[in-house]
Structure 1
């Protein structure tokens, strides 16, 4: 009986590079929008082409089947267009297969002859498109990201998967095209793996499952060590143990290390790995709680990023830590009013058990800095609802103790299609973090996103540090650009590109 769970990591379509178009392969054409209203729109086989970014039109005839608009031709518009195109192609494929044999689709045997549609045409599993002459390396990268991620699907089902295109042939003469496609494919795979992990339902995704999966997918160049609850107790990880104490599924700490020979800079990545969040005794409202399966999206991004860094062979040492716990409700749950001792000895006054992310991150930050002495520290977490209010659902919140590191994060994000906005670490609120009965307060008064970042700063030992709050853009309810409903995979590509810029 087929396992209804999708594979992790997901299999993405193949991008082939070719020098010329091939006869018999359905073709798509990329067209820019007219420069002004006075220019007559392009017309193909009686269809007026808008050229609007992401607008994919089907045209009749044996030549070009789809025309996809590029808008003004900005790199980000190529990404939007690539995603829209692959969705249109998948829709057309489903219609073609439906027309000659039924709603389901099973992967044909390699030796099987191509099936024929009722109209006599072969059912296609590939599409080709020629790159415009003006497309630069950045344009190609964005296009490939859109093509690979726009058709991503995650569904737990006993039915056969819906048909999807297997191969896209990019036709161009640039000798750098294969290398550009290969690198963009690694970035897309990082995003897809982040989505896979975050989308996995929490009845499957225990802390142990997440740790075991990270070890399985890490790749040969990444060393993985999984720390269990006994080790965490012996080492004094009070925050992780407190948060995970209410669940029958014990916590874990994932350690991942990529140590290329001769690498000088050392980047420590820390990702929140809350595999499900009820809020604990400070329980969340039922509405929306089902979304908390993605509350480990920061940890997923960190796992996927170090895997991609190793796959690219970047000359920078990276250590990734993911503290994993399930924040549940039981007689052993931690309580508001508790005082928790973190790794290293600092104590926290607990004000709200639903502010659990900062509790586990505090342990991992303190441990990672003391144990590995990195040059840079970056954490990623779906941490505060305040960031969703401040920045909406498509921009990540960036807090940083170092201006050059903050600029590097923003620049890295812009190169891979992820937007960040730097938020202030307002010193006037720092005193709010000081505790009365413990060293620090978990939920001090003041603006939630800022005070959460100030709390985490207490555990960074003055190192160059950036905190990425991805509570808004980590999940989506609709398609936009290369994003699909569910986990978005946000932050993974930025972390990879950041590591590349430091190497």
Structure 2
């Protein structure tokens, strides 16, 4: 196959830079057990009470007076974790969970994970001995008491917080600091431990999808070029059942007319690639879902160059592609009985004598032409090629693309909510509901037909940067390539990056959308 490599087995990803963290990041293991264990550091939730935080349960569990908890600042406020010394020389945590909603449990898990990481890691970073959590043999273990009314939603939220709140990605010569390795969730008497355990394991797989998407986004762009991104995705897919990976190079793309990907990647010395991940489980029923993720490994803006301030964050401009890669791997690990294909068109958008220009006309896969208005609107150029290819060659029933596409979405929705555009109401609701179940917020935006005419080209079939509201017109541009299939466009320009920690999110690439895509596929498998 000219210009293509098919991966069916692989060794673990090898670091280009020996200081680069191992990918994927190792996450905490989680089990559900029946009994509290003496000698293992523990955490107890603190709920809102009628007259303040309900400290009685924690006081009883830790065999201390409520005054001790008050003295260390124990609170019911979700996202607070307060350590307290115990009589046996160990340490316990009182963790605020508010009224006990799913979002509050996720926040509590994240706060607890960060508190434990800080206790374990900061001393190590200063070349001192790390502080113990309790007995030395249990320094990497923790147990958390679950409430009497625990359900699967609570467990999912808590596990997501615990697994992701302590995430870290740092390129350093220092040894990897100690980390929390295992958490035991102690179920109340009479609870279905097996069912809760299954829920915990599934939640950890969702967390692994988010963490891998973070890893890919956080990898610096001197390492992460299109060949590295697509090759890493293919390598990680190698040993998973029913999943095959194919990487297409610039020669293959040129032979088949992928003009958008080639134009965007033309200014870089590191040529573009297209990754195709095909998951084909035996006995799959239901629709064929195609996911397309923007894979711009660095974006200078090209000739329409970006300001220097903030440009370093453009290493995360492939967050949509990272979410698609992570989702496909997780869908395969879960063995979901649904056909899913992932496409990641990947390029670097650089400035050079071979860079594409404003005013160029680019011919996409399938022949449709685009008049270029701004070379910094490169994401839609590569997505258009991949979407057109999916419609022509893959026979999808549903299309979903995900991209850090427009600054307009950051203005409209801020940094914690993804923009959702859709041509189909049922698909839009499935995406929104999937996100709600896994702790990712989506807000549906309108595909305003009054602006559709602005997308039509004068010199070419369509305009890359038509006048009007930027997020909406970008979505309308992409719709031109969808062949009237049910389609959703997820603009994650805001929530794909975080400036500070909150809930289960840590500063840097967030991995946003990966869990929603997995949950969407699970919904289709169950339909």
Residues 1:145 and 2:164 are matched in the alignment: no
The residue correspondences of 1:164-203 to structure 2 (distance < 5 A) are: 164-172=179-187, 173-174=191-192, 175-203=194-222
- Provide the residue aligned with 1:497 in structure 2: 519
Shift of 1:315: 1.2
Shift of 1:62: 3.5
Cα distance change of structure 1 residues 104 and 289 upon mapping to structure 2, 3 Å threshold: farther
The residue correspondences of 1:100-499 to structure 2 (distance < 5 A) are: 102-103=127-128, 124-172=139-187, 173-174=191-192, 175-218=194-237, 219-221=239-241, 222-264=243-285, 265-499=287-521
Q: TM-score, normalised by structure 1?
A: 0.94
SS of the residue 1:305 aligns to: helix
Residues 1:80 and 2:107 are matched in the alignment: yes
Cα distance change of structure 1 residues 94 and 253 upon mapping to structure 2, 3 Å threshold: closer
**Structure 1 stretches (4+) deviating beyond 4 angstroms?**
39-44, 95-98, 116-123
In 2, Cα distance between equivalents of 1:396 and 1:232 = 31
- Provide the residue aligned with 1:57 in structure 2: 82
Q: Which runs of 5+ in 2 are unaligned?
A: 1-14
- Provide the residue aligned with 1:29 in structure 2: 44
- Provide the residue aligned with 1:108 in structure 2: none
Query: Would you say the 8 A contact 1:97–1:123 is kept in 2?
Result: no
1:190-225 per-position Cα deviation (integer Å, ceiling 9, x unaligned): 000000000000000010001110011124221000
In 2, Cα distance between equivalents of 1:186 and 1:411 = 19
Query: Would you say the 8 A contact 1:141–1:181 is kept in 2?
Result: yes
User: Once superposed, what is the RMSD of the aligned Cα atoms?
Assistant: 2.0
Cα distance change of structure 1 residues 138 and 392 upon mapping to structure 2, 3 Å threshold: same
In 2, Cα distance between equivalents of 1:407 and 1:192 = 25
In 2, Cα distance between equivalents of 1:358 and 1:36 = 54
Shift of 1:246: 0.3
In 1, Cα distance between equivalents of 2:476 and 2:298 = 25
Query: Would you say the 8 A contact 2:292–2:321 is kept in 1?
Result: yes
Shift of 1:162: 2.1
In 1, Cα distance between equivalents of 2:268 and 2:116 = 45
Cα distance change of structure 1 residues 470 and 40 upon mapping to structure 2, 3 Å threshold: closer
1:278-298 per-position Cα deviation (integer Å, ceiling 9, x unaligned): 000000000000000000000
SS of the residue 1:453 aligns to: helix
Q: Which runs of 5+ in 1 are unaligned?
A: 106-115
Shift of 1:16: 2.4
Shift of 1:60: 2.3
SS of the residue 1:332 aligns to: coil
In 1, Cα distance between equivalents of 2:133 and 2:246 = 55
In 2, Cα distance between equivalents of 1:466 and 1:17 = 37
Query: Would you say the 8 A contact 2:379–2:403 is kept in 1?
Result: yes
Cα distance change of structure 1 residues 7 and 104 upon mapping to structure 2, 3 Å threshold: farther
Q: TM-score, normalised by structure 2?
A: 0.90
In 1, Cα distance between equivalents of 2:123 and 2:32 = 26
In 2, Cα distance between equivalents of 1:117 and 1:75 = 30
In 2, Cα distance between equivalents of 1:57 and 1:177 = 26
- Provide the residue aligned with 2:93 in structure 1: 66
1:39-82 per-position Cα deviation (integer Å, ceiling 9, x unaligned): 87646442223221111112222376111011010011111001
In 2, Cα distance between equivalents of 1:58 and 1:193 = 30
Shift of 1:320: 0.5
In 1, Cα distance between equivalents of 2:271 and 2:83 = 53
In 2, Cα distance between equivalents of 1:102 and 1:416 = 38
In 1, Cα distance between equivalents of 2:173 and 2:134 = 31
- Provide the residue aligned with 2:4 in structure 1: none
In 2, Cα distance between equivalents of 1:227 and 1:424 = 35
In 1, Cα distance between equivalents of 2:290 and 2:120 = 44
Cα distance change of structure 1 residues 475 and 41 upon mapping to structure 2, 3 Å threshold: same
SS of the residue 2:85 aligns to: coil
Cα distance change of structure 1 residues 169 and 429 upon mapping to structure 2, 3 Å threshold: same
Shift of 1:120: 8.6
SS of the residue 1:240 aligns to: helix
Query: Would you say the 8 A contact 2:120–2:132 is kept in 1?
Result: no
Query: Would you say the 8 A contact 2:45–2:95 is kept in 1?
Result: yes
SS of the residue 1:449 aligns to: helix
SS of the residue 1:467 aligns to: strand
